[in-house]
Amino acid sequence: MTKILVLNGPNLNLLGTREPEIYGRLTLDDINERMRLRAEAAGASIAFAQSNHEGALVDAIQAARGKADYIILNAAAFTHYSIAIRDAIAAAGVPVIEVHLSNIHRREEFRHTSVIAPVVQGQICGFGAESYMAALAVIICRMEEHQ
23 included as an active-site residue: yes
Report the alpha-carbon distance of residue 24 to residue 102 in Å, rounded.
Answer: 9
How many angstroms separate the Cα of 25 from the Cα of each of 10, 67, 86?
17, 32, 29
100 included as an active-site residue: yes
Residues 6+ apart with CB under 8 A from 77: 9, 10, 11
Annotated catalytic residue within 53, 81, 100, 105? 100
Annotated catalytic residue within 23, 53, 70, 80? 23
Residues 6+ apart with CB under 8 A from 15: 23, 24, 26, 27, 28, 30, 31, 101
Cα distance between the two ends of the chain: 11
The answer to whether 133 and 38 are in contact (CB under 8 A) is yes
Residues acting as catalytic residues: 23, 100
